[in-house]
């Protein structure tokens, strides 16, 4: 009995720890108010670090999560990163005004692939400036880059003022791996944090990514992962949870 209680307590402690590192994500072009409300209820139930939601829902989310300790996170120019730099900066400023506390940014990867490093860095820097004190996480899209480009993307992003390095935007680009996270942690100075993203669907993936150096984990399978951690069995995967 004592061993069973100890195992249960350890599982609950791990669940709470991982919940505090999970940014529960919902990104869909068919997101309804009812599904948004369900997502926010999950964030409140499991006490996730943040609710990552589309920009149009930021203001409502900030109102609901005010004083709960759960952060409001959103994104700029996902999935392509091809908006003008001025447009990205304006959107970032609007998100901050609406209550976003963290911003994930899609850079213009085409600039980097073209060797246009100044344009790549300026694009990021304008968003960082517009966001002010709100931390910006850069979606590096590592699987699309060669070894040299990966290192340059990291260096340019840090110089531009980002607070977090993120391996990919989501599962459509690639599944997060411990190797990617360890690579980012190795290159980043201590004050830069790491977010893992991309096809994270199990508790073991979260364990491996955190062990590799991830400070945050972005996933649209947060409720399923928590059910696994708490020993409550599996939860049916939602239609909007396959990519992130």
**Residues labelled as active-site residues:** 104, 166, 195
Q: Give φ, ψ of 216 to 5 degrees.
A: -130, 155
Q: Is 155 helix (H, G, I), strand (E, B) or coil?
A: helix
Q: Crossing angle of helices 203-212/2-19, nearest 10°? A: 70
Say if CB 200 and CB 224 are below 8 A apart: no
Quote the distance between the C-alpha of residue 206 and its chain's center.
13
The dihedral of CA 127, 128, 132, 134: what is its sign?
Answer: positive
Question: How many whole angstroms separate alpha carbon 27 and alpha carbon 126?
Answer: 24
Beta-strand ranges (E) seen in 89-239 are 102-105, 136-139, 164-166, 193-197, 216-219
CA angle 109, 102, 95 (to 5 degrees): 85
């Amino acid at each position: 009995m004592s061993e069973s209680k100890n195992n249960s307590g350890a599982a609950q402690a791990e669940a709470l720890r991982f919940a505090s590192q999970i940014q529960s994500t919902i990104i869909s072009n068919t997101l309804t108010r009812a599904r948004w409300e369900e997502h926010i209820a999950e964030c409140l139930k499991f006490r996730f670090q943040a609710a990552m939601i589309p920009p149009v829902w930021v203001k409502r989310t900030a109102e609901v999560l005010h004083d709960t300790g759960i952060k409001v996170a959103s994104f700029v120019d996902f999935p392509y990163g091809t908006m003008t730099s001025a447009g990205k900066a304006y959107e970032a400023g609007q998100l901050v005004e609406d209550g976003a506390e963290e911003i994930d940014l899609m850079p213009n990867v085409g600039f980097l692939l073209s060797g246009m490093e100044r344009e790549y860095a300026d694009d990021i820097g304008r968003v960082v400036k517009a966001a002010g004190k709100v931390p910006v996480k850069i979606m590096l899209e590592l699987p699309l880059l060669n070894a040299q480009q990966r290192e340059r993307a990291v260096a340019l992003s840090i110089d531009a003022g980002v607070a977090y390095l993120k391996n990919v935007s989501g599962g459509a680009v690639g599944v997060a791996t411990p190797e990617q996270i360890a690579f980012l942690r190795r290159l980043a100075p201590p004050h830069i944090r790491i977010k893992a993203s991309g096809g994270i669907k199990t508790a073991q993936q979260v364990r491996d990514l955190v062990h590799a150096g991830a400070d945050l984990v972005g996933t649209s399978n947060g409720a399923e992962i928590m059910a696994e951690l708490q020993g409550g069995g599996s939860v049916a995967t939602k239609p909007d949870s396959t990519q992130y």
